[in-house]
Amino acid sequence: VHCQMKPPTNPAVVASHLTLLGLWLVSQYVYLPYPIHLLTLVTAILYVASHQSLFLCPEVHDKLLKQQEEEDADNSTHSSMSVEPRETMRKEDAYQFPLVGSCALFGLYMAFKYLDKDLVNLLIGIYFSVAGVVAMTMTFSTYVEGIIPNKFNQERRLGWQWIQPHSLPEWLAGPSPCDLSVQVTPAQFISFIKAVVVLVLYHTSQKAWYLNNIMGISFCLQGIRNFSVGSYQIAAILLIGLFFYDIFWVFGTEVMVKVATNLDGPIKLLLPRDSLEKDPETGRLNLSLLGLGDIVIPGFFLSLMLRWDFYQWSQNVQQQQQQQSSESDKNKNYYNPIHVEHVSFPKPYFHC
């Protein structure tokens, strides 16, 4: 049964989206006090990403999969969605995260110490360029889909079908035949073009801070939106591990500082510190930075609390429906999973 209700609009979510766009535009021309700029920007990122992460709720994800299967079964129409897989951290992953992070950090430290700095940044830059285009495409498509008519967006898909058999080991290339088919909507294609344009401008403008922030914000939004720590127990293990990780690498060695100061990539948000005027001595703008990890890690916890609020509300509504005398009331869809970001429900844990 497809939801036919009018798409809802959550004023707070809409305001957060507008805040992100407004801050990015205004801060290029008007100096915003650093503390206010930072707090407002991070709050908007966390609010938007946490609400977008509601599709990670098992109930919502199952409804989306069911709706997609029903639409795929109808050969006369295209599916109106592409349900992304749920990425959930396991307890083993939480234990290993600080160790894997330590190996990666120390590897970068050794690379900067014994290899050419420009070569290391070039290789890392290639990686972040690809990842940045993917993250920005996913972020931009949210806004472009709100502009392009849904019917046009679904009926004018682009791509190709390509099923390629192979004789390579399954552990290397996956099962044979390999599905290399690609299908994108006009909104996704337009978003991809915009992402490539931003990337080109970023590299041709000496990596301007405001273009760096587009990629940084996109990384934060997509990281929080698509990844779940699974449970409070796993989150606690992760947080404790990262606590000792930070103590050792930041305060016990020079490794973190050296990597952060040498690594030239969109791994942080950059904000004007005191004015938009360049320093006459250095010819550079005085910028303050905030690492993306300082946004994404708390975002995992906030989004988990929001999904818990949603789960409690959902269970209460289902119990009330079961008490209804009418069979139609029992089977009534009380929210549209496609627009779950805008569903209104009590959020005591999230707002605390």
Active site residue 246: yes
* Cα separation, 27 vs 289, whole angstroms: 15
Count other Cβ atoms within 10 Å, centred on residue 76: 4
The one catalytic residue among 93, 294, 309, 329: 294
Nearest to 77 by CA among 6, 22, 150, 139: 150
Q: Give CA separation, 27 vs 66, 141, 285, in Å.
A: 43, 23, 13
Strands annotated E in 165-235: 178-179, 182-184, 227-228
And the tokens for 73?
Answer: 């079964």
Q: For 343, how many CA atoms within 13 A lie in the half-sphere containing its CB?
A: 27
Q: In degrees rounded to 5, what are phi and psi of residue 245?
A: -60, -45
Residues in the chain: 352
Active site residue 294: yes
Q: What is the DSSP letter of 203?
A: H
The one catalytic residue among 72, 179, 246, 279: 246
Residues designated as active site = 246, 294
